[in-house]
Amino acid sequence: MTSVSINVRPMNWLIVISLTLLFTLQLTQSEVLNPPYFNIAEGRKIHATETCGEKVGKEFFCKIIGSMWTDNNNIDHNQGQVVQGQACDYCDPNDPKKAHPAEFAIDGSPKWWQSPPLSRGPEAARVNLTIDLGQEFHVAYVYISMANSPRPGVWVLERSTDSGKSFKPWMYFADSREECIKQFGEESVRPLKLDDQVICETKYSKLIPLENGEMVVSLIEKRPSGDNFTSSEVLQEFTKATNVRLRFIRPQTTFGHLLNVDQTVTRRYFYSIRDINIGGRCVCNGHAETCDVTDQNHPDKLNCACQHNTAGAQCEKCKTGYVQKRWRAATPDNPFECEKCNCNGHSHECEFDEEVEKQGTSMDIYGKYSGGGVCMHCKHHTTGHNCHECKFGFYRAEGRPLNATDVCTKCNCTKTSQTGGCDSGTGTCQCRDNFINAPACDVCAYGYYNFPKCLRK
């Protein structure tokens, strides 16, 4: 049932499919409903702070890999040059064959995004590549395949949960424990013990392979609740993102640093990304199995197909008329299905009231005083939390079913000595304070005199 619409080279399918299956298995273990994972990067907006050739026109670069054009990466062999023993080429944003815009990093094709080489200046080492997901998703993994450069040496995978206003680190990358500490602090190398711990990964920052390397970054695996995602609110929060940013700090080089080296060296260092797949799914709080409802106001947005009587783009509330109990996200032990209010057929609207829940004065559909549903706009002259009483001036005749549309009958009490109200069951008119002898109410009460005025003595 889980589909993966991800364009990756065949050898990478195994990784992506096994990751997807891993997370799908969790679905069968509980009553928590979750929509399938898919490549949430596809078709999204992407932005690079710098791109090879952009702003400067043609930009010269050389590869690390050697002097021969022996690869099959769509390089025009007639155009490539060997310069001082290096395989070189240039970027040109105006030439479709030589352009490497950011969009190529998520287009599912072999074309790639490339950053400016460090020969442009040392600041070219710090480049950001940001994908705007357009809405909030749970991200399980980020898969990155490189093109004609090694994997980056030092970088940070970051996320935003406020549509790109602010970013926070998700995972750090450097090639050694020492480098991790130096770049990101001691805490980045502590053992992984928390669901939301930001750790430093060392295995992806090696210089080899010089080209076409891969990184499979899981944000769930190996974490304490990695096998029990739906029971950990912390891990669920940790995987939420509206934007994903790759903040590159330094390319991997054969040198410890790149100071005081000439352009024949620096022109060989840049970042090039062939494709990024982000395995994610809609945030549906455990209340939806699909996420294919289109939002009329935002055609690019996907909304959850809510079950369990929930509603909202993320099933983040109970639907109208179903707020007898407080809304909650589903957990493996309890789906927390929203429960209909008991309005005895006299209303479809209700509100949840915390005070009413505490007082235990709202009856649920099972006849128990449980929950805080308060019915609104009760019809048929009814009133009360459950539309279970007749309004003033009406009474419930003996034996009349509570859910009948004529449950409440108008009191026939129009004398000035009567209140207008009458007794439940019998309909006996009630007398004002200064009268007695119901239902006639034709005698002055004790302490009053001079019928029919019945004034206070």
* List of residues contacting Ca ion (CB under 5 A): 104, 107, 109, 111, 275
What is the closest distance, in whole angstroms, from the C-beta atom of residue 276 to Ca ion in the complex? 8
What's the Cα-to-Cα distance from 44 to each of 41, 167, 275, 300, 352, rounded to whole Å? 6, 18, 13, 9, 38
What is the closest distance, in whole angstroms, from the C-beta atom of residue 152 to Ca ion in the complex? 17
What is the closest distance, in whole angstroms, from the C-beta atom of residue 252 to Ca ion in the complex? 21
What is the closest distance, in whole angstroms, from the C-beta atom of residue 8 to Ca ion in the complex? 10
Cβ nearer to Ca ion, comparing 216 with 283? 216
Residue 376 exposed, middle or buried by CB count within 10 Å (0-12, 13-18, 19+): middle
Cβ nearer to Ca ion, comparing 15 with 443? 15
What is the closest distance, in whole angstroms, from the C-beta atom of residue 327 to Ca ion in the complex? 41
Read off the tokens for 66.
């050697």
What is the closest distance, in whole angstroms, from the C-beta atom of residue 110 to Ca ion in the complex? 6
Cβ nearer to Ca ion, comparing 42 with 316? 42
Cβ nearer to Ca ion, comparing 145 with 347? 145
Cβ nearer to Ca ion, comparing 1 with 11? 11
- Report the distance separating Cα 93 and Cα 102, nearest Å: 11
- Report the distance separating Cα 389 and Cα 361, nearest Å: 13
| Three-state SS at 295 | coil
For 336, what's the count of Cα atoms within 13 Å in the CB-facing half-sphere?
A: 20
Spatial CB neighbours of 178, under 8 Å, sequence gap ≥ 6: none
What is the closest distance, in whole angstroms, from the C-beta atom of residue 41 to Ca ion in the complex? 11
Cβ nearer to Ca ion, comparing 104 with 184? 104
What is the closest distance, in whole angstroms, from the C-beta atom of residue 7 to Ca ion in the complex? 8
User: Which residue, judged by CB position, is nearest to Ca ion in the bound state?
Assistant: 275
Cβ nearer to Ca ion, comparing 109 with 294? 109
Cβ nearer to Ca ion, comparing 147 with 407? 147
Which of 319-323's residues contact partners 24+ apart within 8 Å by CB, and which partners? 320/348, 320/349, 321/347, 321/348, 321/349, 321/350, 323/350, 323/351, 323/352, 323/372, 323/373
DSSP 130-182: EEEEEEEEEEEEEEEEE-SSPPEEEEEEEEESSTTS--EEEEEE-SSHHHHHH
